[in-house]
Amino acid sequence: MLRTLLVKASESPTLRRQVTSRRLTRDVAMRFVAGDNLDAGLDASRALARSGKTVTLDYLGESVTAEHEARAAAKVVLETIDRIGQAGLPAGVSVKPTQMGLRLSPTLCLELLDDIVTAAEAIDQHVTLDMEGSDVTEVTVGLVERLLTAGHREVGCAVQSYLRRTRADVERLSAVGASLRLCKGAYAEPERLAFQSRGEVDANYVACAEYLLADGVYPRIATHDDRLIDHVRNLAVRLGRGRDEFEFQMLYGVRPTLQDALVRDGYRLRVYVPFGDQWYPYFMRRLAERPANVAFFLRALRDT
């Protein structure tokens, strides 16, 4: 129930105005977001790189309503890639297809993504398509397939274990060479499309992780859950997967001590670093995704 309410809140223009206009809530939200601009995102990435981590930078925004907005967002992503290359940072990018105009024109979206992936491959970095709501899941999977068919190699997408279709998507995308980010998911979906209980979501996560570690292309295991992390570590040993043959992924500002511990243990750890002024929907979904984040937020408000 709380998760559904928070996801709905992420879509409310009224709540967006109230939250983003208050310095107190903004300051707390900025613990999960690198800052309003690219310079802030790059500064955070440099600090993470110094501590042995890699990064995926995400220019926040989604569901654009005009072509010029999609092209403007693509321009920022291309600038991000250019500056990553100039700085020699161990960083790729994550992109939301609806930010690239998917709901306006799949053709426009594919054009912009092709430009982005081409630029990323020129500096030997990876592009991950973020997975959004279930209404665009199939077309997002199709975009990855089309980009790979066109000859790109450094492109994949996120897959969400709360969706019932995800195990089939994992096998489908692995078969064409996509490197996948496995996460739980942070949208509200009906029971016919998505598992509703934590136990079912976790069980599907484990099943997908087991497939990726056995047969996938460089699995990207995105979780902050100790039980799932331990399961993946043990499974990788049983399957003979070296610690350099997959990576854990975590969110900026979430469980940094655990991030450091994994790096010390010799695991690859990539941090998802969001930046930009469209941070409200992202922040609310992070609260919805993990109850501990809500407690963290409330404690921060109390202590600030």
The list of the chain residues with pLDDT below 70 reads 1-25, 288-304
Tell me how far apart the alpha carbons of residues 222 and 252 are, in angstroms, rounded to a whole number: 12
pLDDT confidence of residue 59: 98
pLDDT confidence of residue 42: 98
Overall CATH class of domain 34-278:
alpha beta
pLDDT confidence of residue 192: 96
- The beta-strand segments (E) located in 66-208 are 91-95, 127-129, 155-160, 181-183
- Quote the tokens at residue 296: 């963290």
Tell me how far apart the alpha carbons of residues 180 and 216 are, in angstroms, rounded to a whole number: 8
**Which CA distances in Å does 300 have to 31, 178, 304?**
10, 39, 6
**Contact criterion met (CB below 8 Å) for 182 and 219:** yes
| Unique residue bearing structure tokens 């003979």 | 240
pLDDT confidence of residue 292: 61
Residue positions annotated with a catalytic role: 130, 181
Burial class (CB in 10 A: 0-12, 13-18, 19+), 12: middle
**Contact criterion met (CB below 8 Å) for 154 and 183:** no
Give the pLDDT confidence of 29-50 residue by residue, as tens digits: 778 999 999 999 999 999 999 9
Burial class (CB in 10 A: 0-12, 13-18, 19+), 168: exposed
> Positive or negative, the Cα torsion across 34, 286, 172, 73?
negative
Name the packing angle between helices 280-289 and 2-10 (round to 10°): 170
Q: Spell out the domain ranges in the chain.
A: 34-278
**Contact criterion met (CB below 8 Å) for 129 and 182:** no
pLDDT confidence of residue 16: 62
- Quote the tokens at residue 244: 């350099």
Tell me how far apart the alpha carbons of residues 34 and 29 are, in angstroms, rounded to a whole number: 10
Long-range contacts of the stretch 229-232 (C-beta < 8 A, 24+): 229/258, 229/262, 231/206
pLDDT confidence of residue 163: 97
88 Rama sector, left if φ>0, alpha if ψ -120 to 50, beta otherwise: left
Name the packing angle between helices 137-149 and 106-122 (round to 10°): 50
